[in-house]
Amino acid sequence: MASSFSSSSSTFAIATFLFLLCFTTPLFLAKPQHHAHHPRFASHNYRDALAKSIIYFEGQRSGKLPSNQRITWRKDSGLSDGKAMGVDLVGGYYDAGDNVKFGFPMAFTTTMLSWSVLEFGGLMKGELQNAKEAIGWATEYLLKATAYPDTIYVQVGDAGKDHSCWERPEDMDTPRSVFKIDKNTPGTEVAAETAAALAAASLVYRKCNPSYSKLLVKRAIRVFEFADKYRGSYSNGLRKVVCPYYCSVSGYEDELLWGAAWLHRATKNPSYINYIQRNGQILGAAETDNTFGWDNKHVGARILLSKAFLVQKLQSLHDYKSHADNYICSLIPGTAFSQAQYTPGGLLFKMDDSNMQYVTSTSFLLVTYAKYLTSARMVVKCGGVVVTPKRLRNIAKKQVDYLLGDNPLKMSFMVGYGASYPQRIHHRGSSLPSVSNHPSKIECRSGFSVMSSQAPNPNVLVGAVVGGPDEHDRFPDERSDYEQSEPATYINAPLVGALTYLAHSFGQL
């Protein structure tokens, strides 16, 4: 039963949240670009997929749900989160199919949702408001998690104990342990990513809610200073808590570069450019680790900083165009620089566990970099091969089309989209009877009988994109197979931008 502490704080959060909503399109958003090279007929309803990719986030909400909640089988949960430590940590998102709130992937999800809106929000039409609500749900939580100087609450819930149960978030009775980073237990990567998220989101709200935007950017500056001053990986100090779930393998240098890039974009303060120029090489600006996701931000930072050179003509960041080009060349089959692996059906394949996150993040970077190149009237040169913005868009389209059903299985990997899609996703709330249909509590262990059954999930988590097929394009659709069947917020977040671009270019928005 919720305590008075949680209900009052939730009411405050909802009031604040309603205040956040922006009903105008920011002036800085992209002007529609018309690309005549696309045919008029699209094999997919990208607009429908876009709407669903955003609705999905409502199914991942923790806390007191608002009256306009569209995924109605979900109910309030985690209403006393943080209370044990005397802090209010109600709200935010569950990252995937379990009931833990992990701050690191949540912050990355927020950054990528914000970037999607910043680049393509001007084309989103009716979906722009929904995307902003998804961002606002996260920023409200991140503001709570960073309320105290030199401290960030980075996790709510004991992952080990949570994973020993298969229960609905509404029934949670596992410990809602709270874990934090501070001066003594630093966590540079999660702090710098949180700073990036707050900075990126501040740009989303800049025109429609200037006071909220200022609050976000002010907090981002403070959090980045903490990240930079007290350096250390949270995977060391909190190893037992965050590993193996969201262990940082790539180190924290990439997040410092990424965070500084976002703060430069949000503040235009030259000190961040000086920071990037001074520390870029040490922080891995020229690394060839061509993987972009919740752990490694190097590629994203390169693309983001290349915009300052290509679009804003900031000559001092000239090198980032060549750093970004090196990444692009690694994706192009048939060039001397190609490193990417593709399945026989044509899907970019990076790893066995949750591969689709790399498909969506790469697709987003391709359409975004194509936009920057078009603006600057430039191309990418991979040795003797000239790669045009059109080619980048075509590669991205092929990846998104595979995800939506153009694959050997003729199956969409987005739940609720298309005629055939995953029926047994690895997701507790989706797989167990809803509170409406089964009001009495489902105990911790008793849910496992459902987890191992072949019955389809009773609650459709609309828009959820799963981990995806293996390197041979196979997908067993088994609930126990979390590597392939679990959806996650950071799979969906970059897809929002890519789908917006495609829906617009085919005249669907």
pLDDT at 20: 57
CA 92 to chain CA centroid, nearest Å: 13
State mean pLDDT over 239-251: 91
- Is-contact 496 362, C-beta < 8 A? no
CA angle 348, 349, 350 (to 5 degrees): 125
- Region label for 410, one of left (φ > 0), alpha (ψ between -120 and 50) or beta (otherwise): left
Residue 202 has a CB neighbour count (10 Å cut-off) of 28
* Element (DSSP H or E) covering residue 178: strand 178-182
Tell me the C-alpha distance between 234 and 182, whole Å.
Answer: 10
Average pLDDT for the chain:
92
Tell me the C-alpha distance between 41 and 281, whole Å.
Answer: 46
pLDDT at 287: 80
Q: Which residues contact 294 (CB under 8 A, 6 or more apart)?
A: 104, 105, 108, 109, 246, 357, 490
Is the pLDDT reported for residue 5 higher than 70? no
pLDDT for 41-63, tens place per residue? 788 999 999 999 999 999 999 99
Q: Is 48 a catalytic residue?
A: no
Q: Return the higher-pLDDT residue of 383 and 113.
A: 113
Tell me the C-alpha distance between 330 and 342, whole Å.
Answer: 12
- Is-contact 503 47, C-beta < 8 A? yes
- 3 state SS of 347: coil
Catalytic option among 44, 426, 427, 504: 426
CA nearest to 166, candidates 83, 97, 92: 97
Is the pLDDT reported for residue 229 higher than 50? yes
Confidence band of 13 (pLDDT split at 50, 70, 90): very low
Omega before 270 within 30 of 0, i.e. cis:
no
- Is-contact 462 415, C-beta < 8 A? yes
Tell me the C-alpha distance between 306 and 324, whole Å.
Answer: 7
Confidence band of 149 (pLDDT split at 50, 70, 90): very high
Catalytic option among 95, 253, 486, 504: 486
Tell me the C-alpha distance between 371 and 188, whole Å.
Answer: 31
Tell me the C-alpha distance between 185 and 179, whole Å.
Answer: 10
pLDDT at 27: 34
Q: Please name each of the domains of the chain with its CATH number.
A: 52-61+76-506 (1.50.10.10)
Tell me the C-alpha distance between 123 and 106, whole Å.
Answer: 25
pLDDT at 16: 52
Is the pLDDT reported for residue 359 higher than 50? yes
pLDDT at 21: 60
Q: Which residue shows structure tokens 């907090």? A: 219
Widest CA span of the chain, in angstroms? 67
- Is-contact 75 61, C-beta < 8 A? no
Q: Which residues contact 1 (CB under 8 A, 6 or more apart)?
A: none
Is the pLDDT reported for residue 31 higher than 50? no
DSSP string, 119-173: HHGGG-TTHHHHHHHHHHHHHHHHHHHT-STTEEEEEES-HHHHHT----GGG--
- Is-contact 387 333, C-beta < 8 A? no
Q: Would you say the C-alpha torsion 497, 503, 506, 509 has a positive or negative sign?
A: negative
Q: Is 504 a catalytic residue?
A: no
Q: Is 158 a catalytic residue?
A: no
pLDDT for 292-315, tens place per residue? 999 999 999 999 999 999 999 999
Alpha helices by DSSP H, 2-126: 4-20, 46-59, 103-120
Is the pLDDT reported for residue 210 higher than 50? yes
pLDDT at 39: 52
Question: What is the pTM assigned to this prediction?
Answer: 0.93
pLDDT at 41: 75
pLDDT for 331-355, tens place per residue? 998 888 888 999 999 999 999 999 9
pLDDT at 474: 98
Tell me the C-alpha distance between 256 and 231, whole Å.
Answer: 10
pLDDT at 335: 83
pLDDT at 34: 42
- 3 state SS of 348: strand
